[in-house]
Structure 1
Amino acid sequence: MKGVLLVNLGSPDSPEPKDVKPYLDEFLMDKYVIDVPFLLRALLVRGIILRKRPEDSAEAYKKIWWDEGSPLIVLSERMHKKVVQKTELPVALAMRYGKPSIETGLQQLADQGVTEVLLFPLYPQYAMASTLTILVLAEEIRKKKFPQMTLTDVPAFYNKPDYIKVLANSIKSSLEGFDYDHLLFSYHGIPERHIRKTDVTKSHCKINDTCCTTPSAAHKFCYRHQCYETTRLVVEQLGIPEDKYSLTFQSRLAGDKWLEPYTDIEINKMPAKGIKNLAVVTPAFVADCLETLEEIAMRANEDFKEHGGENFHAIPCLNDNNEWVDVVANWINEWANAEKPVV
């Protein structure tokens, strides 16, 4: 029997430091997030970062927390419920960090007699710190707890026509009535070394102006290429002039070389360049979360206006958008009737 496990990032149980700290510990101690030897990672995370960060992060979470709970969890649950209504397969929802766990999700499917699982990371672009860590953990849990199961994963869908269409439509709809000077595509940042580590050719990725546009087998796992390609395809579909959009990366940690240009720095420069009305979309996420609601819609908004900007519009993620739900359900149903995913 076939079933589906949708997996998103996750969230603390509450916006209080006592719950934020274990969540950050699980997240930052992931060897695919901070990819250094365990002892060094433990020193950085538990000896330095977790001394102050839980309180700061808790304050940020409090700004965006809903009465129903974490926006990421609530929105993922809404999307999940809609998908369930559009397929006959059992569909469970899990988070890579926090609750409900991947093990809990697989158990829910096993309890319904599922032996073939379509593992669906809810990330359009592939990255070590998002997609890969889900795939690795799910396989570890499967081997240990559910050996009777088989897992098939949905590949990164950054360039799939159905996804591009619904993303473009969502952006277009959100921009109605907003006369923007510039549209910024802000993607979650990752260390440059992650790009090189996922380069299957071990030589293609130079992280320059040409490697992402030069055809290569490396692109299947190259987060940077996939971000640029998502942007290119959406811009092409919406007919946005080249001088009216740009791409940046947000949410970096100090001490490492991360993908550039940086969202906060670029946004702060824009008013001086004559950009007074800015729209920002965050296509690395399919559900609004701390990085979109606090970092972009609040902090970036404030910074933009402090530097002379006038109007700032944060475009919502796809969330439980009905068109997006239809796309996900269609991919699931296609898999249900095929030997392998056709997304």
Structure 2
Amino acid sequence: MAKRGIILMNLGSPDSTEVKDVRRYLNEFLMDGKVIDMPFLLRTLLVRGFIVPLRAPKSAEAYRSIWWPNGSPLIVLTEQLQQAIQPEFDEPVEIAMRYGNPTPQAAYENLLKKVPGLEEVILFPLYPHYAMSSYETAVEYMKEVHKKHNYAFKLTTIKPFYNNPDYIQALSESIRPYVAGNSYDKILFSYHGIPERHVQKTDMTGAHCLKVNDCCNVPSQAHTTCYRHQTMQTTKLTADRLNLPKEKVEQTFQSRLGRDQWLLPYTAQRLLELPKEGVKKLLVVCPAFVSDCLETLEEIAMQGKESFIEAGGEELTLIPCLNVDPLWVNAAVKWLKEYAEAGSKEMILA
């Protein structure tokens, strides 16, 4: 039996709500060339000279509005997922963050201490969809740290699970109580936004994404790494499973940064427009995240709700992320066990 360890990897969070910690976190996050993909010197000037100095105090205030007594919601919820999964395995389960703490190196070192002669680490990036600024950068960073420290163990990675039946079931059942009784006007599937150029950069064909008419619905190898296609599939599969009326379902993209063209439509804009279209009771679900975080708890449940109400809406209800939902925990355990039993061959969960 192979000597294994498991790492659950999430985005990350500042160590505290102090401006200095938020500034450090934002610098690490925004200096990632897969997040802001421009030449290093220009990125440095933009991030450290303009964005972070202006954004850090505001972000610190936003984090304070959602911070829990025991820490960052994203970190706490990832730890809770770790604790829910660990009893199902003899192998130790660690967590790592792409930005901030705990670092990938810390996770690797903890596994080495717990498993003498460690032969393999199974990495589970907690991102349902492929994007260069989320899944790709997380996996590449874990590989970079692995290579830098010349670790002898093998590193294998679970693929995005945007269309996996177990994931769709868990997501759908987490939504079902909110749509029961049809007492809502619309449900918004709000995904984290990315620049359109990121979609084209990850198009392995170089000729499909945002170039072919109705590209996300035309079969292509490009869909393997196309964030837009994968989010649309999650929305469709979930809506179909719940038998949601098509006129009550809409998909948008949130968290835009800068003036570049990002994936449309923008969540913030639609929250202002929907009340004028007769939508008074709105549900919002954020399937790009498996753990509630700043983008759900503050951007949607606070800022988004305020905008919607001021525009004439009456109710905005944020449907929580999967967090430690039993069906989600069961799905994660199932995939990890299948992955280990398959001899650690990378496979797409579909």
Give the alignment of 1:316-335 within 5 angstroms. Answer: 316-335=320-339
In structure 1, what is the equivalent of residue 104 of structure 2? Answer: 102
Q: Cα gap change, 1:265/1:46 in structure 2, threshold over 3 Å: closer, same or farther?
A: same
In the alignment, the residues of structure 2 paired with residue 94 and residue 129 of structure 1 have an alpha-carbon distance, to the nearest angstrom, of: 17
Look up the equivalent residue of 1:78 and give its one-letter code. Answer: Q
Q: Which residue of 2 aligns with 1:55?
A: 57
2:251 aligns to what SS in structure 1?
A: strand
Structure-to-structure mapping, 1:181-260, within 5 angstroms: 181-206=185-210, 210-260=214-264
- Alignment CA distance shift 1:262-1:323 (3 Å): same
Change (3 A) 1:298 1:208: farther
Decide whether aligned partners of structure 1 residues 87 and 227 sit closer, same or farther in structure 2, where only a CA change above 3 A counts.
same
Cα pair 1:331 1:341 within 8 Å, conserved: no
Matched with 1:127 is 131
- The separation in 2 between residues aligned to 1:271 and 1:190, in whole angstroms, is 26
List runs of 5+ in structure 1 lacking aligned partners: none
Equivalent runs, 1:1-343 vs 2, <5 Å? 1-111=3-113, 112-113=115-116, 114-176=118-180, 179-206=183-210, 210-339=214-343, 340-341=345-346, 343=349
- Give me the whole-angstrom Cα distance separating, in 1, the residues matched to 2:211 and 2:153: 39
Q: Is the deviation greater in 82-91 or in 240-249? A: 82-91
1: CA distance, partners of 2:67 / 2:337:
34
Query: Greater shift after overlay, 218-227 or 83-92?
Result: 83-92
Q: Describe the shift of the 1:42–1:233 C-alpha distance in structure 2 as closer, same or farther (beyond 3 A).
A: same
Q: Distance in 2 between matches of 1:178 and 1:69?
A: 36
**1:173 Cα deviation (Å)?**
2.7
Aligned length: 343
* 3-state secondary structure, aligned to 2:47: helix
Q: For residues 131 and 89 of structure 1, what CA distance do their matches in structure 2 show?
A: 24
Alignment check: 8 A CA contact 1:163 1:327 kept: yes
- In the alignment, the residues of structure 2 paired with residue 192 and residue 208 of structure 1 have an alpha-carbon distance, to the nearest angstrom, of 14
How far is the alpha carbon of 1:108 from its aligned partner? Answer: 1.2
> For residues 80-111 of structure 1, what are the alpha-carbon distances to aligned partners after superposition, in whole Å with 9 as ceiling and x for unaligned?
10000112222111110000011111111122
The letter for the 1-side match of 2:84 is K
Which 10-residue stretch deviates more, 21-30 or 328-337?
328-337
Would the aligned equivalents of 2:23 and 2:53 in 1 still touch at CA under 8 Å? no
| SS of alignment partner, residue 85 of structure 1 | helix
Give the % identical residues: 51
CA deviations on 1:229-252 (whole Å, 9 max, x unpaired) are 000000010001110110000000
Distance 1:147 1:96 in 2: 19
* CA deviation vs aligned residue, 1:42-83 (integer Å, no higher than 9, x gap): 000001111211000001001000101000001110011000
Q: Secondary structure at the match of 2:98?
A: strand
Aligned-pair CA distance for 1:177: 6.5
TM-score w.r.t. structure 1 length?
0.97
Which runs of 5 or more residues in structure 2 are unaligned? none
Alpha carbons of structure 1 residues 107 and 174: separation in structure 2 relative to 1, 3 Å: farther
Tell me if structure 2 keeps the 8 A contact 1:87–1:332: no
The AA in structure 1 aligned to 2:38 is V
Q: Distance in 2 between matches of 1:280 and 1:95?
A: 26
Deviates more, 1:273-282 or 1:134-143: 134-143
Deviations 1:209-261 (A, max 9, x none): 61000000000000000000000000010001110110000000122111110
Q: Find the aligned partners of 2:158 and 2:341 in 1 and give their Cα distance.
A: 15
